[in-house]
Copies of this chain bind each other. A is one copy, B any other.
């Protein structure tokens, strides 16, 4: 019962009464063989239910036809969709995907890369905490492993499929400014483990300055869970004069809406909210979410295509960032108390940076 009996090409050859080499040639159509031999080998293979072992092939051929993929988490639909995009592009190429996830842990990132490399993957598609500082990734590249990045902004020496987070965030600031918002906040999750988030903040911050708005307050959450809205409500209640929030992803943006509801405030009358990513569900909401719409699956497809090119020896250059769209939802409006045209330079209030929410650990 439990005996895992493998049928090898040796068995086929024996049954067909020929040498291994001949069987291999027939089954791979890779060399000459008499009609009669072909017939016998094919028959034998069919009867035995033979199929090649990718292991033996990989060992001998030096190519495993496997691609390693590392993402922070599949529970985040953005990454899940990207991986799906990778799968689509790989479909039909014969490559399989070995997937690891690090749960946003830089240490786990390194281990995962090492493990994937040990499995002799032919290439790596990666989103990690800090690719530019990963020893394991560096070593993999030194060994000649092609690496393609996803989501990360361009890093020296790497090719990446990305959107211009800085620019996109500036766009959000512009939209806020155009509607008269001056006092805003940037809401992020796990700021320290995401260069994307940091770049969005940087862009948002820069444009706010350029538009003579207050520096945005930085609100950082450690974790998102069921009571995130309550937590947010508490934090927001402590902020005075805030009229608009830019959330680093759509999930957070939706949580902000919920928080506003809990506080008895109305979106966008009392508070404007803009998200990032453009997940499908945002559209379906009662009050459709204003957001930066990106295409994670396209990101995955591009990263995969880049990798395929590298593996075929066509190095390719860094592609321009993928386009994003500002989706005008219904969560963005004018602030209730319009700024009264007193354009004289006012002192900026001290910006509350890194308002860490360690209420839980405390």
Contact = CB atoms under 8 A, between A and B. Distances in A.
Interface of A: 1-6, 49, 51-56, 58-59, 62, 64, 66, 73-75, 77, 80-81, 83-84, 87, 96-101, 114-120, 139, 143-145, 226, 229, 251, 254-255, 257-258, 261, 280-281, 283-287, 297, 313
A143 B5 contact: yes
Given A49-B139, A226-B283, A254-B284, A75 B66 contact: no
A96 B119 contact: yes
Nearest to A283: B226
Contacts of A283: 226
Nearest to A229: B284
Count copies of this chain in the complex.
2
A5 B145 CA distance: 10
Contact of A87 (B74, B281, B284): B74
Contact of A97 (B56, B99, B286, B313): B99
B64 A55 contact: yes
A55 to B, nearest CB: 5
Given A59-B59, A66-B119, A87-B99, 6 more contacts: A2-B313, A74-B83, A75-B81, A83-B99, A257-B286, A285-B286
B286 A119 contact: no
Given A98-B96, A283-B226, A51 B114 contact: yes
Given A55-B119, A58-B55, A96-B98, A6 B284 contact: no
Contact of A284 (B1, B74, B258): B258
29 contacts: A2-B144, A4-B144, A5-B144, A6-B143, A51-B114, A52-B118, A54-B118, A54-B119, A56-B59, A59-B59, A73-B84, A74-B74, A74-B84, A77-B80, A80-B80, A84-B101, A96-B98, A96-B119, A97-B99, A97-B100, A99-B99, A226-B280, A229-B284, A254-B284, A257-B284, A258-B285, A261-B286, A285-B285, A286-B286
